[in-house]
Amino acid sequence: MSGPDTDWVIRNYDRVFRLADSLLRSLLKAFSQEGPLREAVLVLQREVVEGELLKDCLEVGACDLDRLFKIARDLFLSEDSGNGEL
């Protein structure tokens, strides 16, 4: 792991962790009914809490982590602005 983006993420790991945790809590609220999407969010949340998902993303690179958050945010925003169905 090296490079300015990765160094920034390492210095700000706690902030990145809190952001991921907040995003996943919001997704759990959005997917409050039992089903495969809620289960997927629960798996992601467990991976973030255990630290493995963020660690793996850091190994791939900070730019990829940024893209992952953008995808998750876009998914959440599209679900939030829709009628609750995918």
13-61 per-position pLDDT tens digit: 888 888 888 999 999 999 999 999 999 999 989 888 886 777 677 667 6
Distance (Å, rounded) from C-alpha 84 to C-alpha 67? 24
62-75 per-position pLDDT tens digit: 666 678 788 888 88
The DSSP annotation for 30-54 comes to HT-SSSHHHHHHHHHHHHHHHTHHH
Domain extent listing, the chain:
4-81
The model scores a pTM over 0.85: no
